[in-house]
Structure 1
Amino acid sequence: MAIGPVQLIVLGFRHPDFHGEIIAELERLRQSDTVRVIDALAVYKDKRGEVEVEHLSNLSREEAVELGSKVGALIGLGIDGEAGMAAGATRGAASAEDGIAVFDDPQAWDVLADIPEDTAAALILIEHHWAVPLRDAIARAGGFRIGDGFISPLDLVAIGLIAAEEARRLHDLETAATVR
């Protein structure tokens, strides 16, 4: 089975007010075969910068520790303290033995450092099912990914895609929690 492009999304919450809307939308996307949630972690960074982690899934804590956290492995965070870190390191070493370079980019994204203190975050690893046929068509044509990234709504004004008022509203929606 082909796996689609995989993306790690980090969502911050200053004062979470959950009503099930986020999970319902992720479930709708899964039902439509648009995306699949591979793994998800809830992280809380307190005012001193200490981090608490909880695995978000229907697995028991023991199953999550046994199977490992894919997000935790990506960002170097163990789901079960030192034991979890050791398990992640072992998996990474096995990949390196197979000739796969793991975490060798000095410019790599430090996800945990980006989470502001006294903030909760949801780290969601999703697979984009919708992109599999497009990616495969690009590969068949000899193409390859050079880079990717989300574009700020404010940048869309410069190219005339949306009006400044709409861009400001969308920007504020996307970044509201970062403003104290």
Structure 2
Amino acid sequence: MAIGPVQLIVLGFNHPNFQGEVIAELERLRESDTIKVIDALAVYKDKEGEIEVEHLSNLTKDEAIEFGSKVGALIGLGIEGEEGVVSGAIAGAEAAAEGVHVFPEPEDAWDVIEDIPPDTAAALLLIEHHWAVPLRDAIMRAGGFRLSDGFISPLDLVAIGLHTAEEARQLHDLETTARRQ
């Protein structure tokens, strides 16, 4: 079975409600076969930078620990306190030893935990894009391959006329408010 392109998205929250509207929207996207959430973690970072991690799924804590965390293995983060951080780091190291490299060069490494502002929370979503499988396969059949990807800031869309400056500033402010507080 082909797996679609997979993306790790890190979303910050000042006052998270992980059981509300975001979960409902992810469920709607899953039901429409647009995406599949492979794994999801909530990371709470206190004012001193200490973190607490919990699985965002219907698995019990024991099941989550038993099945492991795909996100944790990718970024070297576990879900059960200090022991979980160690096991997540081990899983990440084992994946790297088997040739799995999230970042091709060490200088390209993304320190996900460092990016989370103190006294906030983040949802780390590992998402498979089902909608993109036929497109990806067509590109591959045509001899194409992915060179790069990324989300485009609303501010960058002003120059090409997709947003007005005011719309872009409002969207940019909405997307980045927690980082500046």
**TM-score normalized by the length of structure 1:** 0.90
Query: Which whole-Å deviations, capped at 9, do the CAs of 1:51-79 have from their partners, x for residues lacking one?
Result: 11111111111111111111111111111
User: Does structure 1 retain, via aligned residues, the 8 Å contact 2:73–2:95?
Assistant: no
**Aligned residue number for residue 169 of structure 1:** 170
**Aligned residue number for residue 20 of structure 1:** 20
**Aligned residue number for residue 31 of structure 1:** 31
Structural RMSD (CA): 2.0
Moved more, 74-83 or 49-58: 74-83
Moved more, 81-90 or 28-37: 81-90
How far did 1:179 drift? Answer: 2.7
Matched residues, percent identical? 76
Mapped to 1, the partners of 2:62 and 2:167 lie a distance apart of 46
Query: Which whole-Å deviations, capped at 9, do the CAs of 1:26-74 have from their partners, x for residues lacking one?
Result: 0110011000111111111111110111111111111111111111111
Query: Which whole-Å deviations, capped at 9, do the CAs of 1:132-164 have from their partners, x for residues lacking one?
Result: 000011111111111100000000001122211
User: Does structure 2 retain, via aligned residues, the 8 Å contact 1:48–1:117?
Assistant: yes
CA 1:145–1:159: 2 relative to 1, 3 Å: same
How far did 1:85 drift? Answer: 4.0
Equivalent pairs counted in the alignment come to 180
**Aligned residue number for residue 141 of structure 1:** 142
SS in 2 for 1:43: strand
Superposition pairs for residues 45-64 of structure 1, below 5 Å? 45-64=45-64
SS in 1 for 2:106: coil
Are residue 111 (structure 1) and residue 86 (structure 2) matched? no
Mapped to 1, the partners of 2:148 and 2:45 lie a distance apart of 30
Mapped to 1, the partners of 2:125 and 2:18 lie a distance apart of 16
Which letter maps to 1:26? L
CA 1:164–1:41: 2 relative to 1, 3 Å: same
Moved more, 124-133 or 103-112: 103-112
Mapped to 1, the partners of 2:30 and 2:46 lie a distance apart of 32
CA 1:166–1:67: 2 relative to 1, 3 Å: same
Gaps of 5+ in 1: none
